[in-house]
């Protein structure tokens, strides 16, 4: 779980989930109210995790000749796993870091 770089407060899964899915890089710490940013490292990590499953789903549905319903179901399941585990990969930074 992310730790506030300002006050060392450990954000809960619920807090992180809510803040992360407001789709803003700026997130206020619930403890010290300081603005925190998703670190570049964690943004890259979540980008890779987010993009990685799509080609695998498409490829395996072609190889295994899965029907569309099964493919969609698998895609939804993977998306749910990514969504649920996303707060675990988030790291915070005091300053907005450039993406690259
Ligand atoms: Zn804090």
For the chain, 100 residues long, give each residue's pLDDT as a single digit of tens. Answer: 999 999 999 999 999 998 887 777 889 999 999 999 999 988 888 888 778 788 888 888 888 888 888 888 888 998 898 888 889 889 999 999 887 7
Distance, CA 64 to ligand 1 centroid (Å)?
48
Per-residue model confidence (pLDDT) at position 43: 86
Distance, CA 76 to ligand 1 centroid (Å)?
34
Single pTM value for the model: 0.75
Cα–Cα distance for residue pair 8/61, rounded to 1 Å: 44
Distance, CA 23 to ligand 1 centroid (Å)?
19
Distance, CA 11 to ligand 1 centroid (Å)?
9
Domain chopping of the chain, boundaries: 13-93
Cα–Cα distance for residue pair 59/17, rounded to 1 Å: 30
Per-residue model confidence (pLDDT) at position 62: 85
Distance, CA 30 to ligand 1 centroid (Å)?
7
């Amino acid at each position: 779980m992310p730790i506030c770089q300002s006050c060392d407060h450990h954000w809960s899964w619920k807090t992180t989930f809510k803040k992360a899915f407001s789709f803003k890089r700026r997130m206020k710490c619930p403890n010290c109210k300081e603005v925190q940013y998703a670190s570049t490292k964690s943004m890259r990590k979540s980008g890779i995790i987010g993009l990685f499953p799509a080609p695998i789903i498409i490829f395996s549905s072609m190889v295994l000749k899965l029907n569309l319903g099964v493919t969609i179901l698998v895609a939804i399941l993977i998306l749910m796993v990514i969504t649920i585990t996303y707060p675990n990969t988030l790291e915070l930074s005091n300053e907005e870091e450039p993406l690259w």
